Amino acid sequence: MSRSSSAGPVRVALATIGGNLYLIVGTLVFGLATGLGGLVLPPGRVFRWTSERWGRSVLAASGIRLEARYDCDLAAAGRTVLMPNHQSLYDIPALLATLPGQTRFLAKQSLFRIPIFGWSLRTGGFIPVDRGNRRQAREVFQRAIDGLGAGDSILIFPEETRTTDGRLGEFKKGGFLLALRSGLPIVPVGIRGNFEVRPKGSWVIRPGRVTVHYGCPIGAEDYSVREIDRFMAAVRSEMARLAAIEEGSER
């Protein structure tokens, strides 16, 4: 289901300039504040405080109105594996601004090579993954689960890369195997609106409304490793509902 932006050319120009400028300057300030703050205060607490404000500021500078929905009390769910669809580079600020608790991200290695920003990601407990090395990725997944604190969750984009057409891409099995082997439930998350705001490969920002819709946990105990395809299908179906994406249809 498409939700195109109705912003005029002036608003688009202002959002494109303001949003891209803030992504550079604001991210630099955020990275420094997070890294330096983590030297004297608990790093996780510092990152949660700064990242939420960075996320909301990035969206505000880009003319984006953010809405968050929660179908369940996720704070009471304990440790979970959160799985959102991946529409845009704006997914991360939208998630950071709305996450219900302390969450560690699995992120591609290249992000950690960005000066200062990469430092802040490590301070926040983000976990680098080499997508080209599947064996290493499995080991990283397990270490991530083993290193979670009480009540902490982990976030994985099951598509791994951003969509090019607005629809859900192919899901990779790594995160699902992690959930099955650890026994942690998966929380499907639907992000809607970011593809229209700024699709992959574009510098133009079109102001609009973005919704992050958190579903209820889907228990891994209801599936075995042999039933991983059925597990993936259940999560995918719920994610499509939360993101208001009609699978198999043109946008």
Mean pLDDT value across residues 124-129: 76
Cα separations in angstroms, 53 against 114, 240, 249: 20, 28, 36
- Alpha carbon 229 to its chain centroid, in Å, reads 23
- Within 13 Å of residue 13, how many CA atoms lie on the same side as its CB? 3
pLDDT for position 105: 83
pLDDT at position 5: 60
How much of the chain, in percent, has pLDDT values that exceed 90?
A: 55
Return d(Cα 5, Cα 3) in angstroms, integer.
7
Q: What is the pLDDT of residues 152-178, one digit of tens each?
A: 788 999 998 999 999 999 999 988 988
pLDDT value of residue 35: 82
Integer Cα distance of 131 and 218 in angstroms? 25
- Give the residue from 194, 178, 182 showing the smallest Cα distance to 232: 178
